[in-house]
């Protein structure tokens, strides 16, 4: 855990216009508690065996679902092969949840090449450039959640009004009605529109990492793998027609998109989360650690089962404060956060899973008028 974003390994590409206050007593308490946790337990920050085991099981489910869809073919019941497409999309998303996200933080394995391979491979199944996603996730989302102009989360679209600083448009009055269909299209939009736009932007602004041919080839390989899995194989092996392929693609990507929306979006975009506004010089009145506490919403944060099933999304505050630790530590680290918040008289936002989801939709309703 660090109070200063400049101490983060990825800080050289952070946004300089936003500045947090100096470390608070809460941040110092967290450092002390973390030191005690690592010293007394002698724990590794990397993924535990049960996390790898769950990943293998889900990979087998993903493969079996995809194989069943191929074997069933268009001659089989439509509901059956579409159901297998839905299961494939959901299982692919769960691979990201169980190990891909931690790999993006370098906490799946102590070996960098394993983390990089996981990020590339798992995100490629979903058609997303893992390198671009990791860059934006670490450089923007983790440093500046719920701050205006950070370029991600609430700033990523104006189709929905997700933050109170965004202008209210006529269509936003109906956003509670059309939010779910928009979320269902989120992955496809990311794959075919946002990803290419992000690549063009990063090749201009961060040429040292994205400007040469290797990142471009990796990006193209991501799209090729995605199309090979969800278009070429169903046509060549499964014998599906173009309309069938479109149905398979829409179902698989929509299920993955909605799963992400239900599990993750409400952890920040909620009526329980704060949306601080920096002053005219980009200064935030509180420190970085307090900001993470203010802008995240947890649900069942000390539950090991919830952490395993959600990839630590249930303990989102702890993840933001200790991003270098795999979600195997989510429940224990949440206990440290709760203790530090209590000792320093700071509010800690925790609810149930249903409460997190309903908090997001209450937020949408509040911002629609």
Q: 287 Cβ partners below 8 Å, 6+ apart?
A: 3, 20, 21, 22, 23, 24, 26, 27
Whether residue 228 sits in one domain with residue 180? yes
Write down which residue in 262, 280, 314 finishes a domain: 262
Whether residue 81 sits in one domain with residue 218? yes
Is the pLDDT at 8 greater than 60? The verdict is no
Whether residue 216 sits in one domain with residue 193? yes
Would you list the DSSP string of 92-103? HHHHIIIIIHHH
Is the pLDDT at 7 greater than 70? The verdict is no
Report whether 153 contacts 269 (CB < 8 A): yes
Secondary structure letter of residue 268 according to DSSP: T
Whether residue 291 sits in one domain with residue 256? no
Write down which residue in 247, 262, 277 finishes a domain: 262
Secondary structure letter of residue 6 according to DSSP: G
Banded model confidence at residue 153, pLDDT cuts 50, 70, 90: low
Write down which residue in 240, 262, 284 finishes a domain: 262
In the chain, pLDDT over 90 holds for what percent of residues? 87
Is the pLDDT at 309 greater than 60? The verdict is yes
Whether residue 313 sits in one domain with residue 187? no
User: Could you report the per-residue pLDDT of 65-101, keeping only the tens digit for each?
Assistant: 999 999 999 999 999 999 999 999 999 999 999 999 9
Whether residue 187 sits in one domain with residue 54? yes
In the chain, pLDDT over 70 holds for what percent of residues? 95
Rounded to whole angstroms, how far apart are CA atoms 311 and 309? Answer: 6
Whether residue 78 sits in one domain with residue 217? yes
Counted domains in the chain: 2
SS3 285: strand
Whether residue 90 sits in one domain with residue 202? yes
Whether residue 253 sits in one domain with residue 107? yes
Is the pLDDT at 16 greater than 70? The verdict is no
Whether residue 219 sits in one domain with residue 75? yes
Report whether 146 contacts 296 (CB < 8 A): no
From residue 242, give the alpha-carbon distance in Å to each of 193, 234, 245: 21, 10, 5
Rounded to whole angstroms, how far apart are CA atoms 191 and 126? Answer: 8
Is the pLDDT at 319 greater than 80? The verdict is yes
* Overall average pLDDT of the 131-151 stretch: 89
Whether residue 213 sits in one domain with residue 346? no
Domain holding 237, by residue range, is 49-262
Report whether 198 contacts 132 (CB < 8 A): yes
End-to-end CA distance of the chain: 38
pLDDT at site 152: 66
Is the pLDDT at 103 greater than 60? The verdict is yes
Whether residue 102 sits in one domain with residue 62? yes
């Amino acid at each position: 855990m660090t109070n200063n974003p400049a101490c983060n390994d990825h800080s050289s590409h952070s946004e300089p216009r936003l500045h947090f206050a100096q470390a608070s007593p809460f941040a110092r308490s967290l450092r002390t508690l973390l030191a005690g946790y690592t010293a007394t337990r002698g724990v590794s920050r990397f993924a535990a065996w049960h996390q790898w085991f769950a990943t293998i099981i889900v990979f087998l489910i993903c493969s079996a679902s995809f194989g069943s869809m191929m074997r069933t073919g268009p001659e089989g019941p439509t509901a059956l092969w579409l159901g297998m497409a839905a299961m494939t999309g959901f299982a692919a998303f769960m691979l990201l949840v169980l190990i891909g996200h931690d790999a993006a933080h370098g906490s799946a394995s102590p070996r960098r090449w394993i983390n990089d391979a996981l990020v590339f491979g798992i995100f490629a199944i979903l058609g997303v450039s893992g390198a671009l996603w990791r860059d934006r996730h670490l450089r923007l989302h983790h440093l500046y959640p719920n701050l205006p102009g950070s370029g991600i989360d609430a700033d990523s679209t104006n189709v929905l009004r997700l933050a109170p600083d965004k202008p209210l448009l006529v269509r936003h009055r109906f956003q509670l009605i059309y939010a779910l269909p928009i979320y269902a299209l989120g992955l496809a939009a990311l794959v075919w529109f946002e990803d290419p736009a992000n690549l063009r932007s990063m090749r201009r602004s961060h040429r040292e990492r994205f400007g040469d041919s290797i990142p471009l080839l990796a990006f193209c390989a991501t799209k090729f793998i995605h199309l090979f899995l969800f278009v070429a194989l169903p046509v060549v092996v499964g014998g599906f027609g173009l309309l069938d392929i479109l149905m398979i693609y829409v179902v698989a990507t929509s299920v993955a998109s909605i799963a992400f929306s239900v599990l993750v979006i409400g952890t920040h975009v909620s009526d329980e989360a704060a949306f601080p506004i920096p002053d005219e010089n980009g200064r935030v009145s509180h420190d970085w650690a307090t900001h993470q506490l203010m802008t995240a919403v947890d649900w069942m944060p000390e539950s090991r089962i919830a952490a395993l099933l959600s990839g630590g999304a249930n303990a989102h505050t702890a993840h933001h404060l200790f991003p270098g630790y795999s979600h195997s530590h989510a429940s224990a680290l949440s206990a440290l956060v709760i203790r530090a918040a209590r000792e320093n008289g700071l509010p800690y936002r925790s609810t149930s899973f249903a409460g997190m989801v309903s908090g997001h939709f209450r937020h949408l309703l509040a911002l629609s008028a």
